[in-house]
Each structure stands twice: as structure tokens, then as C-alpha cells.
Amino acid sequence: MIEVLIFHLHVVAALYAFTKRWQEANIKESILALGLIGLVFTIGWAITGSIAKLITPQGGFTTWFTADTMSLVLLVVPEIFLFRLFFLRTAPKTQSPS
């Protein structure tokens, strides 16, 4: 169930990034935002999957918290920082010369 929640959060984040970049720039940048999120997710999950298999016991911690769940939880932490950096930060306003 935790995996489904994390996947759902990724879909919502991708839709938000796509829509925001489409409104601020154009469709090309929104597709690039989806590509960035997809790359970070796939590469990050491969890396955290290896780390989680080293940390997690053979049968997992419980039936609902396995090595795959641990890898997705480990993945969400750096993704939050990257998402805030690329999609939630607003551009600084420039002051007009007086």
C-alpha cells in the first residue's frame, strides 16, 4: 500500500511539473520536465534499490515494508529536494531602475 501511495505522489508531481512548465514556458519545456522526473525516478530507484537490499533483512521488516518499499522511501527524500529546486521555486523579481 505504501508503494501505491508513493507511485501516486510521483504521478501527481509529474502532472504538476508538466502543467507548471507548460504555463510558464511552452510544451517543449513541459515535456523536458517529464523527462527529467522520469530519469531521476528510474536512475534513483535503481540506486536506492541496491542500497535497500543491503539494509533490509531477507524477509523484509514486515509484510508491508519490504526492500522495495524501503528503496522507494529512500528515493523520495532526494526527490523532494530536487522537485523543490526545479519546480516549486519562483524566479526572483527584478527591480526596475529608478
Number of domains in the chain: 1
Per-residue burial over 1-31, b if 16 or more Cβ lie within 10 Å, else e, is eeeeebeeebeebbeebbebbeeeeeeeebe
Comparison of pLDDT for 50 and 57, the residue scoring more: 50
Q: Is the predicted pLDDT of residue 61 greater than 90, yes or no? A: no
Residue 92 lies in a domain: no
- What's at 9, amino acid-wise? L
> How far is residue 66's CA from residue 58's CA, in Å, rounded to a whole number?
9
The pLDDT of residue 56 is 83
Q: Is the predicted pLDDT of residue 92 greater than 70, yes or no? A: no
Give the pLDDT confidence of 10-49 residue by residue, as tens digits: 999 999 999 999 998 899 999 999 999 999 999 999 999 9
- As given in the structure block, the three cell numbers for residue 40 are 531521476
Residue 97 lies in a domain: no
Q: Is the predicted pLDDT of residue 5 greater than 90, yes or no? A: yes
Averaged pLDDT, 50-73: 85
Residue 45 lies in a domain: yes
Taking each helix axis from N to C end, the angle separating 67-83 and 27-55, rounded to the nearest 10 degrees, works out to 140
Residue 70 lies in a domain: yes
The domain of 51 spans: 2-85
Comparison of pLDDT for 1 and 77, the residue scoring more: 77
Residue 94 lies in a domain: no
Residue 34 lies in a domain: yes
Residue 98 lies in a domain: no
Residue 76 lies in a domain: yes
Q: Write the CB contacts of 75 (distance below 8 Å, at least 6 apart in sequence).
A: 6, 41, 44, 45, 48
